[in-house]
Copies of this chain bind each other. A is one copy, B any other.
Amino acid sequence: MSRKAPIGVFDSGLGGLTVFKVLARRMPEESLIYFGDTAHVPYGSKSPEAIARYSSEVARFLAKRGIKLLVVACNTSSAWALPAIRKAVKVPVIGVIEPGARGALGVSRGGRIGIIGTEATVKSGAYEKAIRALKKGARTASAACPLFVPLVEEGWWSGEVVESVARKYLAPLRKARVDTVILGCTHYPYLKPVLARALGSRVRLIDSAEETARETEMILCDLGLRAPRGGRGRREFYASDAPERFRRLARRMLGAGVAKVGLHQFDS
């Protein structure tokens, strides 16, 4: 495997660009290929079997393009599909759940961790498992927030509507007196100010993107696969449907760096 090979980053749609952005900032010399499975977005309300099938197809596509490591930037896919993805490709695969869990335990004072995510992510219990594997006595509480993704995609990142949705969804976490909350969906960082107001300023918010990027860096380093210093990596983007729409929204998130978006369709 070449050190100059790209890192693959995969999400069900646009959300994973928050992870892509941190990777690009931390490691400008690494080449990155992003895949948004816009034909099947959102994963959050699909069955575990469908999530595993879609994720494996994307992973195989990226493996064929010669990636040296795959970052599964989608929480839902990380929660349900890592075993299937690891069967489908030979490169190392990093999900966002474990880094998020580690990040939360790192800053939590009282060990009371809240988790918010899609219906499928919360139902999986994956964060709870990861947290308890790292720290036995930790206490957790979780809340599914299905409207946050469409609100972010609609661009309603502040204002009356999203504030009131946040208060409603987060009430159980306030009641459970969590001291730290994991943003268990890559769309949620856009809502940080709203979430902070709804939870109170003492609650720490953990965005898995930063943690995941650090983990990626360390694994590449351990494997002797970090790209040579001083270079500048390529950036490539693919979507499985409506690449022009993807490009427009991706530019809003990443700026001018999104030159073109390739279309790669699966069988259906």
Contact count band on A? 20 to 34
Copies of this chain present in the complex amount to 2
A240 to B165, CA, bound (A): 30
Q: Which residue from chain B places its CB closest to the CB of A150 in the assembled complex?
A: B150
Report A185 CB to chain B, min CB distance, Å: 14
Interface pick from A47-55, A97-105, A130-138: A47-55
A245 to B45, CA, bound (A): 9
Report A232 CB to chain B, min CB distance, Å: 32
A262 to B242, CA, bound (A): 30
Given contact pairs A161-B161, A164-B160, A54 touches B146 in the complex (Cβ within 8 A):
no
Residues 221-268 of A at the B interface (beta carbon under 8 Å): 241-242, 245, 266-268
Q: Which residue from chain B places its CB closest to the CB of A240 in the assembled complex?
A: B50
Report A79 CB to chain B, min CB distance, Å: 15
Asked whether any CB of chain B lies closer than 8 Å to the CB of A57, the reply is yes
Cβ–Cβ < 8 Å partners of A161 in chain B: 161, 164-165, 168
User: When the two chains form their complex, are residues B268 and A57 in contact, meaning their CB atoms are under 8 A apart?
Assistant: yes
User: When the two chains form their complex, are residues B242 and A46 in contact, meaning their CB atoms are under 8 A apart?
Assistant: yes
Cβ–Cβ < 8 Å partners of A146 in chain B: 150, 153-154
Cβ–Cβ < 8 Å partners of A219 in chain B: none
Asked whether any CB of chain B lies closer than 8 Å to the CB of A107, the reply is no
Cβ–Cβ < 8 Å partners of A268 in chain B: 53-54, 57, 266-268
Interface flags, A152-168, vs B, CB<8A=1, else 0:
01101000110011001
Given contact pairs A57-B268, A165-B161, A46 touches B150 in the complex (Cβ within 8 A):
no
User: When the two chains form their complex, are residues B57 and A241 in contact, meaning their CB atoms are under 8 A apart?
Assistant: no
The 5 closest A-B pairs by CB, nearest first: A267-B267, A268-B268, A47-B242, A266-B268, A150-B150
Known: A47-B241, A147-B147. 9 other contacts (CB 8 A): A45-B153, A54-B268, A147-B150, A147-B156, A150-B150, A161-B165, A161-B168, A164-B164, A267-B268
